[in-house]
Chains A and B, each alone.
Chain A
């Protein structure tokens, strides 16, 4: 069955770089896009970016200068790297599978706290 699982550090210091991994199973990365969505504590959902099935990436314009999303198809993993982290980046980060124009499967999410 389709599964996505996020992993990464729970705590990151301000101005440092966040690295997250989304391990997927039950589908192949060349067949589907994988998106990152984040949710600050008690707030709504924000699209972060995606790696498309063809391998190219798109980013939220507000985060684009700090963000990189890539993948390793052989390992079925998608990576998010965001630099210059600030407290406003504190959030739960979800990865989710894109199916045509909607998200059909979601990971459990990983909480990232930016604090010294």
Chain B
């Protein structure tokens, strides 16, 4: 099974600061169809997870463009360019290239 390792486990940021979260996969997430199925989700306190980015770099509808995703094969990054108060919560990467699909362990973003 694919293991996704997220770093750092926790992140503390001030409003307006730019931050990055890393997600490393134990296997390449490049699918035989040429696409890479690595998604990013945010779970705000007390809420269900919500999709931010799909297939590495595609912004879900309604998600602010301060969120961006990049990477390939086994190394992926979520960047928040100018953290806002509403961004606090736990960020998860998730892969759907290999069965069974799997999630990273999460990165908790705290606002200073």
Contact = CB atoms under 8 A, between A and B. Distances in A.
A103 B94 CA distance: 10
B39 interface: yes
B75 to A, nearest CB: 19
Given A44-B105, A101-B55, A102-B54, A94 B48 contact: yes
Contact of B100 (A45, A60, A102, A106): A60
Contacts of A1: none
A102 B39 contact: yes
A96 to B, nearest CB: 8
Interface residues of A, number: 18
Nearest to B90: A44
Contacts of B96: 101-102
Interface of B is mostly: loop
A46 B105 CA distance: 10
Contacts, number: 54
Interface string B71-112: 000000000000000000010101011011111111000000
Interface string B39-53: 101010000111100
Given A101-B37, A106-B49, A45 B54 contact: no
A7 interface: no
B101 A47 contact: yes
Given A58-B99, A101-B37, A101-B54, A44 B92 contact: yes
Nearest to A35: B101
A104 B50 CA distance: 7
Contacts of A102: 37, 39, 51, 54-55, 94, 96
A60 B102 CA distance: 10
Closest A-B pairs by Cβ, 7 of them? A101-B96, A106-B48, A101-B37, A102-B54, A45-B103, A102-B39, A44-B106
